[in-house]
A and B are shown apart, each in its own frame.
Chain A
Amino acid sequence: MATPAVTRSPRGRRNRPRGAERPGRGTLLLLTPPMLWLGVAYLGALGALFITSLWQQNDFTGAIERVWTLDNFRDLFTIDVYRTITFRTIAIAALVTVVDALLAFPIALYMAKVASPRLQRLLVISVLMPLWASYLVKAYAWRGMLSENGLIAWLGAPFGIDTPGYGLPATTIVLAYLWLPYMILPIYAGLERLPDSLWEASADLGGGAWTTLRRVVLPMAFPAIVAGSIFTFSLSLGDYIAVRIVGGTSQLLGNVVYDNVGAANNLPFAAAVATIPVVVMVIYLAAARRTGALENL
């Protein structure tokens, strides 16, 4: 009677390692609403999206017919313009990510390892500050700056530089601007975690600043860069506002979805188009997982 009772006593339970502890009923009760929210609002919606993409629309009435069909996906793969738009969107998202990584790394490096603690705090705030302003305001501000007689044309005139005008370059610039904080912050956090002794060890073993950066800092910051790229890449992939405001006539996947939801009122096709970024992101995340980036989010 004594021995089994002892192992089941509350004391024995408290001595269990943390990870082995089973959640009590109270914990379950507390977790249920947020887990439901995650399940229904996020995964449920994604499931609904996918199911909708397998339905079709009646061409005459515009009503949705709940008949299982792969027609939407067949259209996506066979009609050239959609393929072009898909690759263009992925290319823009990749370009935005590269531009952001190139801009963010030196900034994050300065913040994490050079700036005084006071300046460090100020810089973190100034990186976050643009996120407080409305997306639309920022996009329209860029529209103004990129216009024919805008700030960029005026500033560049003495150097023979003209505004790129509205189009894909402008879209890339604006997206890179919008998502830059999402790249800076993970890299900053990653670099801050890097012990100073690793830099010193590299210098001690004969590595100059450049060698240390290339052989120690960059490889170690790589997962953090990938973590930031998950944000910049996925946000660019789904964006449809920036391209409408500064993209001129260029189309990205987001526009196609938007137009099919709005003007064309073809929800099943819009859903099919919307699955493309989801699939691309799933592949991207699977690749990112191998670098250990997901532990850096």
Chain B
Amino acid sequence: MTRWFLIAGVSGALLVAVRFPRILELLTTPAPGTVLPAIGALALPAAAFAGWYWSRRGHSSTQDVWGRLIASKSFLTGAGVVATLGLAALLAPVLTSYNPNAQPDILGAATLRPSWAHPFGTDFFSRDLLSRVLYGARWSLGIALVAVTLLVVVGTAAGILAGWAGGIVDAVVMRIVDAGIAIPRILLLLVIAALWGNLNFFALATLLGLTGWFGLSRIVRAEVLSLKQRPFLHAARALGISRRRMVTHHLLPNLAAPITVTAALGVGNIVLTEASLSYLGVGAPPPDPGWGNIIRESTSIILSAPWVAFFPGVAIFLTVVGFSLIGDSLRSALNPQAR
């Protein structure tokens, strides 16, 4: 085991170092705050291998959720894709030496084809596309994570409230949800954006989250209504278990599957929505990159320089596929009866 670990770690570090010479540069001429990310990047393959190995240890059986997850090929693929994208976003300063907004030579270096120096090529303003896609991931994935966290919390709370309380509370919450579903989301967001002016990161994430929970709350409410009829909740009540504990220990574990699946699929959905919004002019404030506005800026040169649209497109595609795979495998892993 140790031998395999060393081989994987060293060869991985070498590969990273060769492909991203900037890491070595950062290590030899240290600037504040760059050493640790650089060492992290070098240690990444070793850490990934260790993580993979550790997660398999003691989980050879499919007895628990984690065991079933890591036995599932679709989860490993999805998690690999998502982890790669996430780490790439975090380690962007290490992985590329270009400033994503720098326009080194707007005449000579514009729309260069992908090459060793510019693996993804450059855009119309001569900016390095790899850097823009990497930094763009910070914006796009960041928005998605914040928005999904928000929509999961609000959607779950609203669904449980409506299903558990019933009566008037249920009617009111569900009418709000109906209204939310009835209004076209993009239109609503555009109107808000127009009234608000320029939206910053948190404002946009909050807006996306607050307009995205309606579907989840319906799913959760339906699930709560059917769970409420199940004798095990009657049994819990007869045992004198408090309402709060019934929700946290009996209701939530049974809601975990629909919630996590919706969340995982929701990430892909938010990335796409944010991209369409960017396309309509609401998104990362120029010149900062987001996947959506990179594609928007590529429209005028899509035939002459298709790679400018292609790479962020692939990134969005991979995000959606990665999270869908995770969502799917979670769905089956969270069901204790699936063995």
Determine if chain A interacts with chain B: no
Name A's B-contacting residues (CB within 8 A). none
Name B's A-contacting residues (CB within 8 A). none
